[in-house]
Structure 1
Amino acid sequence: MKNKLIALMMTLAPLSTLASTTVLYNAKGYTPTQDGELAHFSTLVIKDGRVLNRGDQQLAKSYPDAERIDAQGKVLLPGLIDAHGHVIGLGQILMRLDLRDTQSVQQIGEKLKAFAAQSKQKWIIGRGWNQENWPTKRFATAADLDKYVSDRPVVLTRIDGHAIWVNTKAMELAGFKGSEQNPEGGEIIRNSQGQATGVFIDKAENLINAHIPKADFQALSTALDKAGAHLLSLGITSTHDAGISKDIWQLYQQRAEQKNLPLRIYAMLSAADPQLLSMLKAGKTSDANDMLSIRSVKVYADGALGSRGAALLDEYADRKGHHGLMLESPEQLEEIFKTCFTHGFAAHTHAIGDRANRDVLNAYESVFKSTGGKLLRNRIEHAQIVAPSDIPRFKELKIIPSMQPVHATSDMHMAELRLNEQQLSGAYAWQTFLAQGSKVAAGSDFPVELANPFHGLYSAITRQDHNGQPQEGWRPQELLTREQALRAFTLDAAYSAQQEFKLGSLEKGKWADFILIDTDIMTAPVQDIWQTQVLETWLGGEKRYSRQE
Structure 2
Amino acid sequence: MKILTKHLSTLTLFLLTSSSFAFAQTTIITNVQGYTLADRELKQFTAIQFTNDKIDKLFIEGEVLPKPGQMTVIDGQGKTLLPGLIDAHGHILSYGLSLMQANLLGSLSEESAVKKAVNYAKANPDITWVQGQGWNQTQWENTQFPTAKSLDKYFPNKPVFLRRVDGHAGWANTKAMELAGITSATKSPTGGDIIRDKSGQPTGIFVDNAMDLMTKSIAPLTKQQQKSVLKKALNKLVSFGLTSVHDAGIFTDNLELFKELSNENALPMRINAMLYLPSENWQETLKQGPFTSRDNMLNFNSVKIQADGALGSRGASLIADYSDHAGHKGLMLHDREKLILYMNTAMNAGFQVNTHAIGDNANKVVLDLYQQQIKATNSEALRHRVEHAQILQLSDIPRFAELNIIASMQATHATSDKNMAVDRIGEERILGAYAWRKLMNAKAVIAAGSDFPVESPNPFFGLHASVTRQDHQNQPENGWYSEESMSRLEALQTFTIDAAYSAHQENILGSLEKGKKADFILLEDNYFTENQQDIWKNKVLATWVNGKKVFAQ
Q: Secondary structure at the match of 2:467?
A: helix
What's the counterpart of residue 4 of structure 1?
none
Q: Distance in 2 between matches of 1:198 and 1:174?
A: 12
Paired AA for residue 93 in structure 1 = S
Q: Distance in 2 between matches of 1:309 and 1:370?
A: 30
What's the counterpart of residue 538 of structure 1?
544
- Alpha-carbon deviation of 1:63? 4.2
What's the counterpart of residue 520 of structure 2?
514
1:234 matched to 2:259? The reply is no
What's the counterpart of residue 60 of structure 2?
56
Q: What aligned pairs does 1:91-490 form with structure 2 within 5 A after superposition?
A: 91-119=96-124, 120-490=126-496
- Write the deviation string for residues 131-174 of structure 1: whole angstroms up to 9, x where unpaired: 11112110111111111112111110000000000011111111
Q: What aligned pairs does 1:10-49 form with structure 2 within 5 A after superposition?
A: 20-33=25-38, 35-49=39-53
Paired AA for residue 449 in structure 1 = E
- Matched pairs, number: 533
- Alpha-carbon deviation of 1:60? 5.3
Q: 1:69 aligns with which of 69, 74, 81?
A: 74
Tell which deviates more after alignment, 89-98 or 63-72: 63-72
Q: Secondary structure at the match of 1:30?
A: strand
- Write the deviation string for residues 350-394 of structure 1: whole angstroms up to 9, x where unpaired: 000000000000111111222222211100000000000001111
- Write the deviation string for residues 285-333 of structure 1: whole angstroms up to 9, x where unpaired: 1012111001111000000000000001111110011100011122221
What's the counterpart of residue 6 of structure 1?
none
8 Å CA contact 1:43, 1:59 repeated in 2: no
8 Å CA contact 1:455, 1:530 repeated in 2: yes
Q: Distance in 2 between matches of 1:156 and 1:263?
A: 29
Q: Secondary structure at the match of 2:198?
A: coil
- Alpha-carbon deviation of 1:343? 0.8
8 Å CA contact 1:25, 1:60 repeated in 2: no
- Alpha-carbon deviation of 1:19? 6.9
8 Å CA contact 1:519, 1:528 repeated in 2: no
8 Å CA contact 2:274, 2:301 repeated in 1: yes
8 Å CA contact 1:163, 1:202 repeated in 2: yes
8 Å CA contact 1:123, 1:155 repeated in 2: yes
What's the counterpart of residue 11 of structure 1?
none
| Residue segments in structure 2 that go unaligned for 5+ positions in a row | 1-19
Paired AA for residue 118 in structure 1 = A
Q: Distance in 2 between matches of 1:147 and 1:407?
A: 33
Q: Secondary structure at the match of 1:151?
A: coil
Q: Distance in 1 between matches of 2:268 and 2:521?
A: 16
Q: Distance in 1 between matches of 2:151 and 2:95?
A: 24
Paired AA for residue 67 in structure 1 = T
- Alpha-carbon deviation of 1:247? 2.0
Q: Distance in 1 between matches of 2:110 and 2:335?
A: 35
8 Å CA contact 1:334, 1:366 repeated in 2: no
- Alpha-carbon deviation of 1:98? 0.7
Q: Distance in 2 between matches of 1:488 and 1:298?
A: 20
- Write the deviation string for residues 165-207 of structure 1: whole angstroms up to 9, x where unpaired: 0011111111222311111111000011111111000011111
Q: Distance in 1 between matches of 2:114 and 2:427?
A: 37
8 Å CA contact 1:19, 1:67 repeated in 2: no
Q: Distance in 1 between matches of 2:542 and 2:83?
A: 12
Regions of 4+ moved over 3 Å: 15-19, 57-60
Q: Secondary structure at the match of 1:328?
A: coil
8 Å CA contact 1:354, 1:387 repeated in 2: yes
8 Å CA contact 1:186, 1:327 repeated in 2: yes
8 Å CA contact 2:268, 2:545 repeated in 1: no
- Write the deviation string for residues 209-257 of structure 1: whole angstroms up to 9, x where unpaired: 1121001111111111111111111000100000001221111111112
8 Å CA contact 2:24, 2:51 repeated in 1: no
- Write the deviation string for residues 374-420 of structure 1: whole angstroms up to 9, x where unpaired: 21110000000000000111111111000000000000111011111
Tell which deviates more after alignment, 78-87 or 210-219: 210-219
Paired AA for residue 507 in structure 1 = E
CA, structure 1 residues 26+273, in 2 after alignment: closer, same or farther (shift >3 Å)? same
Q: Distance in 2 between matches of 1:30 and 1:341?
A: 37
- Alpha-carbon deviation of 1:17? 8.2
8 Å CA contact 1:511, 1:541 repeated in 2: yes
Q: Secondary structure at the match of 1:326?
A: coil
Q: Distance in 2 between matches of 1:382 and 1:295?
A: 19
Q: Distance in 2 between matches of 1:488 and 1:457?
A: 9
Q: Distance in 2 between matches of 1:366 and 1:326?
A: 19
8 Å CA contact 2:183, 2:201 repeated in 1: no
Tell which deviates more after alignment, 17-26 or 127-136: 17-26
8 Å CA contact 1:112, 1:149 repeated in 2: no
With normalisation by structure 1, the TM-score equals 0.95
With normalisation by structure 2, the TM-score equals 0.94
Q: Distance in 1 between matches of 2:549 and 2:201?
A: 56
Q: Distance in 2 between matches of 1:216 and 1:479?
A: 44
Q: Secondary structure at the match of 1:420?
A: helix
1:523 matched to 2:529? The reply is yes
Tell which deviates more after alignment, 324-333 or 39-48: 324-333
8 Å CA contact 1:127, 1:157 repeated in 2: yes
Q: Distance in 2 between matches of 1:393 and 1:125?
A: 41
Q: Distance in 1 between matches of 2:173 and 2:316?
A: 25
CA, structure 1 residues 98+60, in 2 after alignment: closer, same or farther (shift >3 Å)? farther
Q: Secondary structure at the match of 2:428?
A: helix
| RMSD of aligned Cα (Å) | 1.5
